[in-house]
Structure 1
């Protein structure tokens, strides 16, 4: 305050005006164009260093010529910041294209997404958006340049074959590394996906499934040991141990050993903590950049950094491995073999792909299986229908399992009710904007499509919140708009590991249902699975203890 008073006492109004003009120019000629989240760390550091340096110089050097010059520059810089901030707020509130288009939403959402970061600090974004949906309807402005869409046509509009939409700024969270699921350039994504497809051919899947069957057998043995001893099984632990072990083996031929030791691996526990940070920050990608690049060894970000270092180390080892013709090959082999056409630093792609393939394959599959067995325990008649289908079926025969009506219906209904991405998967409209359900969304707008709410719409699915697998078979009339449920996404952005994931889930369910009856453990209701569910881009569910009884 003393410095500000001194400024105005010396009548340095022309310096104030200069700062205001610089702020207006910076906004309307620089920052208003393009994307700046990648440069957020440099912008914040450079501005912070500048203002601190000038402030220290002004206070330290006093009324010397240098000190007075620093004071003058400080005046200009203060006014520049105030002008820039004010101009941005006024533009967003009154003149932004979404304001002119008249989208409804909380008034403060026009100014910044910081409100959303704070509201989602406990990783319950699906509940926040569900509340907004009930208040504002299908199209809500949830940020300065962000629209959350609850209309069921949104998925085909943003991911369909004719879309011009790209992935949003959030997907740069691996920067400077990148990965298939994080590629925002459509042509580059197509090229990279072709490379991945080489590691997911029918022949490669057969090889991968042999490895995964070993982990399924180990999962069954753990459950059998609990069944024989009469102990409940913590499904929220063993299913995640299984999926992480299987994916570690699938990607690097190196499982984490969690099933064998019946305990969490330190790296996986850390990575899950790191993932937790992504949920609250999803609506502010610039904060993610600042966190990962300015404080990579702080708190949960340290755990993320450790996991990235582990993947990097294993990929380097894979580079040095000489694969014989008949030796079993993991995904890293196929990625490294074909990694020659995407440009840039090839190792940045390799490291990002390795982390993506493990995390993207583990968390969703385990979460789906957890919810599936919750529903089977709650509705044992469906477990018996699946069991009846399995009589005389080889539970390791992927082709035979894919034809079983109730087995696949149970999986499809679980994925509808428990989507992997509750609110994630943001897209950004192209140069021509995009029309969804008759509503035009202007160009360069971030579009959020919360699967948790859309897949439970009553106008899309009859008795939408109920677990009714028949809607995917004999009661197809209960599906009014099946496009509202897209658990693996659609179009070019669909999950590249879809077939492997489905094959694995079918086999796990078939093996366990054919061998055991399942029920809740004493005192267990299953309610905590959804009550304690957290939305951190992917989904982590609450605890579930089940008892398995050997069939006669």
Structure 2
């Protein structure tokens, strides 16, 4: 065999490509190493072209490129054959192209940014388990929630979370032990350390509410600024999608950098907001082709926005680090953790990653939920009237009062069910031993993702799943068939650390607005246009906004 290979250089090149795949690239994750791999190939070509001019070794450009082409042909042929006929996910149904290339998921994402709808269509066609990538499975089986996301889960975060490297935030940290250690710092920041006795749920929530009171007056400040902006446009159409973004980002700018972005005051997008949404739209379709992201970050011209943003973030962190506010905020705890450590370069990357996380994760999802919430309220005048009646009889001067308003909580829960802020769910990797769910076995080292938009609208979990019925969380509990499937803030060790702060922001501004105004859809705002404007770019973004009309309330039950 060796003599045969020696006689046919092209065959040798083909074999080398097959061997590279089977012996090396088939094992482990190579996304972040993609630029290095390409660099080695370029170096091979460069050496092959330069070598004849400096040595007696002669090789023409033609044979060199022929060998390279044969090598690449062998590599990709091996990848194709393996993924189609031998891959551990080959028995799961799904589009043929999905099993061959991760670009199929990019194709789904690029279709109006409606990936969550495209995935739902695939589940309707193929069932609960659909292969949507070479090693990726979309799972819509409610039985899988605890095994994939719950406290007993052995899964880890998927390669998607490496997209922000070298910056590693709490959210993107794939090391479970390190994540748990860093999580304690964030728990202090949100005063949800969990070091409480085993109270019942109501007592536990009371403790969290008390812990967050240091942030309450700051949230109220920005709610008042939003009300001021609305009061200037009473009776007129106003894009509340935009203003809810201003509200949530101004709050998190204050709690992270010690200063607001001043969007509620100026009525103009800040650099942070516009850059975030532009980058999400640019990179959103490629979040399943993670080997592409390192090229995006390193190619001049293509990476202008990326490098400018992190330069800006460094400046914000540096300024905030030199100016400690009178009142502690989220960054107080993050900075304290950094300064008590060794203050290494890696520690700085963690700190800057966490600063980015605090603003983005604490703002984008809250703004999206508020936009969806007021869309549902404007579309459901009967329920809105009931909620206003509850608001009128409750002393809502403190957040403790707001947190114990059942109709308000039901409104938020039902909004999060119909419009989860992470509609495609969170990416996980199965443990080496895999996961077994009765008659279904998911192999180890596979990417799994549960589409929350599909799961929350599943008849097995919720009766009348596509209808906005907040009563399912209050007087009609029979409409909730499987409570364990409802995880809008995640579950287990990776659950959202800022949940209670997000709820505070949503409750505060909802009560403040509805206590003063009635709300309706603007004449030009159609249901179809609003729903078509949903963009799934990991978080849910409203590309077309939401046009509402606020009018002074005609009556109040005081």
Settle same-fold status: TM greater than 0.5.
yes
1:53 CA displacement = 6.0
| Matching residue within 225, 249, 269 for 2:254 | 249
The yes-or-no answer on 1:81 pairing with 2:82 is no
Aligned: 1:118 with 2:123: no
- The 1-side partners of 2:341 and 2:283 are apart by 30
How much is the aligned-residue C-alpha RMSD, in angstroms?
2.3
8 Å contact kept, 1:245–1:258: yes
**Matched ranges for 1:77-156 at <5 A:** 77-99=68-90, 102-121=91-110, 122-156=112-146
Flag the 1:22–1:293 CA change in 2: closer, same or farther, 3 A. same
**Where does residue 400 of structure 2 map in the other structure?**
399
Q: CA deviation at 1:109?
A: 1.7
Q: In terms of mean alpha carbon deviation, does 335-344 or 230-239 score higher?
A: 335-344
Give 3-state SS (helix, strand or coil) of 2:164's partner.
coil
Distance 1:109 1:205 in 2: 45
Displacement after TM superposition at 1:504 (Å): 1.1
* Distance in 2 between residues matched to 1:53 and 1:378, nearest whole Å: 67
Q: What does 1:7-406 align with in structure 2 at a 5 Å threshold?
A: 13-51=7-45, 54=48, 66-68=57-59, 71-99=62-90, 102-121=91-110, 122-201=112-191, 205-227=212-234, 230-295=235-300, 297-298=301-302, 301-322=303-324, 327-339=326-338, 340=340, 345-406=346-407
| Separation in structure 2 between the aligned mates of residue 52 and residue 67 of structure 1, nearest angstrom | 14
* Matching residue of 1:4: none
User: Residue 191 of structure 1 contacts residue 341 of structure 1 at CA under 8 Å; is this kept in 2?
Assistant: no
Give the secondary structure class of the aligned counterpart of 1:153. Answer: helix
TM-score by length of 2: 0.90
Conserved in 2, the CA contact under 8 Å of 1:139 and 1:150?
Answer: yes
What residue ranges of structure 2 are gaps of 5+ in the alignment?
A: 192-207
1:427-446 pair list within 5 angstroms: 427-436=428-437, 438-446=439-447
What's the offset of the Cα at 1:330?
Answer: 2.3
3-state secondary structure, aligned to 1:391: helix
Does the residue aligned with 1:431 lie in a helix, a strand or coil?
coil
- Identify the residue that residue 478 of structure 1 maps to in structure 2: 479
Distance across 1 between alignment mates of 2:139 and 2:157? 15
* Cα distance, 1:483 vs structure 2: 2.4
Deviations 1:457-496 (A, max 9, x none): 1221111000000001110000111222211001111100
Partner deviation per Cα, 1:194-217 (whole Å, 9 max, x = no partner)? 011111115762222221211110
How many Å apart are 1:71 and its aligned residue? 4.8
- Does the 8 Å contact 1:533/1:540 carry over to 2? yes
Measured at CA, do residues 260 and 83 of structure 1 come closer, stay the same or move farther in structure 2, by a change above 3 Å? same
Check 1:472–1:322 CA distance in 2 against 1; reply closer, same or farther (3 A cut): closer
Structure 1 unaligned spans of 5+: 1-10
Q: 1:254 to 1:526 in 2, by over 3 A?
A: farther
1:243-270 superposed Cα distances (whole Å, 9 cap, x missing partner): 1111111111121111111111233212
